Each structure stands twice: as structure tokens, then as C-alpha cells.
Structure 1
Amino acid sequence: MENLALIDSFSEFKDDKLIDRVTLMAILEDVFRNALKKKYGSDDNFDIIINPDKGDLEIWRNRIVVADGEVEDDNAEISLSAARKIEPDFEIGEDVSEEVKLIHLGRRSILALRQNLISKIHEHDNTNIYKQFKELEGEIYTAEVHHIRHRAVILLDDDGNEIILPKDKQIPSDFFRKGDNVRGIIESVELKGNKPTILMSRASPLFLEKLFEQEIPEVFDGLITVKKVVRIPGEKAKVAVDSYDDRIDPVGACVGMKGSRIHGIVRELGNENIDVINYTNNLNLFITRALSPAKVTSIKIDEVKKRAEVILKPEEVSKAIGRGGHNIRLAGQLTGYEIDVLREGAEEDVELREFSDEIEEWIIAEFHKIGLDTAKSVLEHDINDLVKRTDLEEETIQEVINILREEFEE
């Protein structure tokens, strides 16, 4: 059968759920018109009739009859004698429609045509997949671990679509085995060489926000609004929530009785510590809440420089800073203000960062990690205690103490 190549190609894709009948017919016609252009120079005078149910194809070439010896364009014109071999009663000026068999295109053209058809259908599939996942950007999606690489986990969804979860988009404590179901947000979708690249993230603040929508009915229904989310993946997060209904306690609704509602979210994020905070337009109050669990004594705000100077009792400083400085860093990100923590009654004290020309920044950062951010707060501690609580050498700490003592001796 002369259209066998077409039937084989068609049967390979006719059940593809991504391709409707009209689109498939358009692809088939486009592929054959390209083949005709290569063979005859133009496809303008060809009619292509496709029956997708049977895989049948008819190609008809339309030419005008001209007198013998006056044919100038073989593709558009046919001599009278040649026309009368088709039908004996043709006259000059009439139109002749002649069927073109696939075999006339040549074996090489038929093979190329089949490859072009497969390529066009794959291209169509990829475009549809791209559009499908582009609409899912920022939404939670679940897929199964297919392959684990050093820099990424390759996931497959139920339709066999490949989704990439890069290492830097994972929570540090994530550990996956082949066959595990993984949840994350579709962070980005790009077409690279006609193939869609779909990236998932579990480290994005948006993933936590979407988990709130999914797990807490009042958030899903819009009764509670998630105003902002900041997080250090796997370590700590702060979520500011608000409600326009005074009868609803947004924090209580999100956390649930004894943490029942938020427990599933915490578990999904590798036991990430989540602080849920009542949002307010009162900046002083918002910064105070953001520094929870520390209790703030007073706040001085510079709205121009976007800085807040916070006074706390000495025993509250380490709570405000948090382990590894996580609490104060997230509070700053949540409020949009750089927060400076000062001890109550330490007005004559000097912040460590004022000594940055004499003490290296990484050394100052080590003291900040254990809640010591002023000169006096360091001098109050025994050198042996500082060696135990920091990653600094005794010699380094002694040099710092000498520098700080000189400041007050002056």
C-alpha cells in the first residue's frame, strides 16, 4: 500500500491524548506540503485530502492545459498531449487534476516525511506540556522520585512528565528514595530546544504559603490572609497572617489546638520551626511580634534608613538573636527593617560592629551568634567561657578583649 508510511506514523500517535483530530490533520497537511515544496518547488496548486480515521491520504495536483511545446512551468502547466493521456477530451485552458502517489515523492522523501511527522507531533506535545505546567507555576505539585543524582532529583508525574528538583531547591534534611512521592511548588517552566524544563522547589517561601492554603481551611477560604512568609529552609520560618473578621484569631486558627493544624506542615518541611505572627500596620508592634519569643522593652525606629533599634533585657537578647542569628535575620526580612539589638541599661556601651576596622567581620559574627553584640557584653564574660561557646581560638578572643578594654580605658 502506497500510503503505508503515513498509516504507520498515524497509528503511532492517533491515540495521543494531547492531540485532537483537527490539530493532527493540520500537522499532517503541513508535513506533506513541506514535502511537496521540496519536490515540486511550490505547493500552491496541490489539494491534500486526509481521512484521519483510516489513515488515508490523497494528493491532487492542479495544472492548466497549454499547447504542446508551450509549457513554461511543469508544476503549474501540462501539455495538451500529456493531459489527453489522462482524459482524451481535455482542451487547452482547462484545469487538470491528477493524483500524486506517495511513491512519486521517492523513498528518501517518504522516510524524511515520516521523521518530520514524528518531530512535529513531539514538538506539539512539548508545547502542550509547557503550557500545562506554565499555568501551574507557583502551585503545589506531587511527583514520584525516578532517579537520584548528585545535584538534583529527577521526578516523574503520572503522565510520565519529567520534573527536576535541584539540590539547592531542597530542604537540607530532605532524603529521598526511588519511588517516594515528593511535594513542592512548580517554581519555573522553560522551553529549551523545544523541550520543556520543569523545576520544582521545596525551599521557596511560596511552598510554605501554599501549604498553609492547602492545610488550613480558613486560609483556603480567604478568611485568613497570609501577608508574608520568610524562611531559612529546614531551620526556621516566620509567617505573618491577618484576618478581616475580628471574630477569627488568625494565629490560633493556623496553629490549631496544641499545634494540631501546623504539625503536618512542620513535618513536611523537615521539622522546620514555624513562628506564626499576627500582622499589623503598627510598625512598632509588628517588629515586637517579629522578634518573638523575645520580649522587647522599647523600640526606636528610623523610617528613612529602614532601621530599628530595639532595647531588651540582657536575658532576652539571645532569644531575639536566636540560634545562628536565625531569629533576628528572619524578623528583619519579615518587617523590612534592619534590626539592632541593645541591652537595657547599656546606653554607654558600644556595639561590636563599631570596631570593624580593628576586629574582622567574621569574628564579630561569631560573638553575635551567642547573643553578644556590644563591647560590654563581651567583657562581662570569662575568656574560658567564650572559648567554649564560640568557634574562636583563645588567642583571638584575648586580642578582641584587649581592643575592647582600650576603648573604655580611654
Structure 2
Amino acid sequence: MIQLKKMAGRALLLAGAPGTGKTALALGIAQELGKKVPFCPMVGSEVYSSEVKKTAVLMEHFRRAIGLRIKENKEVYEGEVTELTPEEAPSQTGGYGKVISHVAIGLKSVKGSKQLKLDPTIYDSLQKERVNVGDVIYIEANSGAVKRVGRCDAYATEFDLEAEEYVPLPKGDVHKKKEIVQDVTLHDLDAANARPQGGQDIMAMVGQMMKPKKTEITDKLRQEINKVVNKYIDQGVAELIPGVLFIDEVHMLDIECFTYLNRALESSLAPIVVFATNRGICQIRGTDMAGPHGIPVDLLDRLVIIRTLPYTLEESVQILAIRAQVEGIAMKEDALARLGQLAEQTTLRHAVQLLTPAHVLSKNNGREEITAADVDEVHALFHDAKYTAQLLTEQVDKYIQ
């Protein structure tokens, strides 16, 4: 539904006991959506800051989770660098120093080659991008911006061990029109334009993103950026990509945050919001009322609720086997089965935490693989949360109250 863009402005609630994989589900969603779709994780307690308003923190995360794909047809010079020669001239201010007067650069594509004479400021950009002969680059004709695409694949077998990304020789002519795609978030545009510099077009906004600033982002500025963004979406220059905002421990938010979320979800520029909580009926922060999962009923009514269930014995064993493989720990079948039983009796998190001590114990005993006896020994050494609570109840007189 998220990939088909059918969930924008809607919210999802993952509700279940601790250790039932709510955060893992959210990370799975992020992986499945890919790198181009923004995914912004946060915890409910992050909104409580002495410096920033709660609603400002929420709005910032909302806008971090909304992506904008900007497509522009630009006139560019693209090809493999065959020559890069800076031409020097005596300094105009006198003295013995020399300055670069212009740069001679040769570009080659499949269809032909071209010699260019460039401004000295473009030479600085070439140096910043670390362009050398044999690299594939493109230079924007209007702005002079330089982008290094990679090393030409003709040099792919130059070294035994490669650290470069090799790209084919560009097709077509050296001088051509090319569609350039950039992915940014609305928060990037907010931060870039908190202190406007340069042009008013969308590419100028993107260009300012790299400059460090610490200026407050106001609602008025956000509204202005929304107008510009909507205008470019209408013109077909940009495409809105609703990302995912993941709020863990949502019961930590208070009534002001929930009221704000109600309004923010109705906005035309809203991401998909995924909430996660492990609470049952509990107090809604900032009120005397209790609510399911600590969330007001009017917001709960807007949510698609997914219940997460505890893992079965087979699932626990499978997860533990994957975790052991990732950590490079060898285990016998009976040890894995015993650890799976412990995960069912205690929690999966506790069983995962026993992997490393069991591995250390087996190594100290001169074994490469963990046995069931190692698992039982570390289980006796380290207590889980349920057993600790039981001990405290039984031995209440031995602890300071």
C-alpha cells in the first residue's frame, strides 16, 4: 500500500507485548521500500526538550519523512576526461605568484569528442570532485556545476584490487540535454532556506542544502516552501514521495502531541506514520483519563491496528540460528533447541543475549561449537527479568525498600 502511494496521510499502529518484533517490522518496511523512500525513526520521549517545542520536533520529523524527487532537463557536457590542463598566467595584483587563467579539458563520448575552455572557478569544482584523466563526468552548461559519475570501465582491469565504481562511456554527443534526478526531503529544503541565498527556483533551494546553518525554521517559511513545492509538482518538475515516520513508544507522547498529530495527518503533505507501543490500558499523558495503549480514542479511530504476537518455538529457533550465523557462532542442534526453549520460557531478547557468553564458555573449555550444557550453564549464571522479579518478591526482606 505504501509503495502504491495509497497510504499517504494515514497511520498504522503496531501493538504487542515487548519482544514481539515491532521495531524489526518497521525496519523491514524501510528495507523493503528501498533507499530512495525516506524513513525517519524516532522515540516518543524525543519530543521532550527544554529548547524546542514538542510540536516543532514532531513537525521536523514529519518533514524528514516526506521526499521530493526533482527532475530537470539540463544542457550538459558529458564524457570521459581525456585531457585536463590548467593554464596559468601572471597574477594581476603583481608579485611573483601565478593564477589559473582557464582550464583546457577534453571530453570523449561514444559519438565523438570535444575540447572545452573553462572558467578557473570550474577548476576548483573539478578538484573538489577529485576528477582525473579517465573519469566520466558531466558539467552543467548553465551553472558550471561538476559531477563525477565514476571511472570509465575501459580501466576496469587496471588494478588487482579495485576501490572505484566503473561506468560505461556515455552514449550520444558530448554536448546534450540530460534529465537530472535529485532526491531531497522537505526538511532539507526547510534547513537550506532558513536563511535564503541565491535564486528562487527549486534547484537553487537544493544547492543551498550543503551550507551549514543554525537558524530557526518558522511555520511561515514552511508554508512558503510548500507553495513552491506544490507549484513544481503541478508543473511536473517534481514528484512527491511520501515516506515513513516511525514513532516507537508512542504512549510517551502527551495530549498536546496527539492533538497535533490529528491535524498533521489531515495535511496534504503528510507521510505514512507507523506507531509502536507495548502498553495496554494506561493513562494518556497530560490528562487524568486512561485509554487503550495510552492513545486518545479519536486518534485511535484513524489508525489501522496490527497486533504483533509472541514468536513460536520454531520461529525463535530460526531467529536464533540466523543471529548465530551473523555473529559467526557455531552451535550444535541440541544447543539451538535448548536455547529456543529458553526463549519460550523467558524472552527472545534474553536468549539472544546468552549467545555470546555461551560462545566464550565453549571456547574456554576448548570447544568450537556451543553445546546444550554450555547453554544451561550460562542460563544458571545470568537471570532473566521474570526470574529477577520472582527473586525480589520472595526475598523482599533482604533488600532496602
TM-score (normalizing by structure 2): 0.21
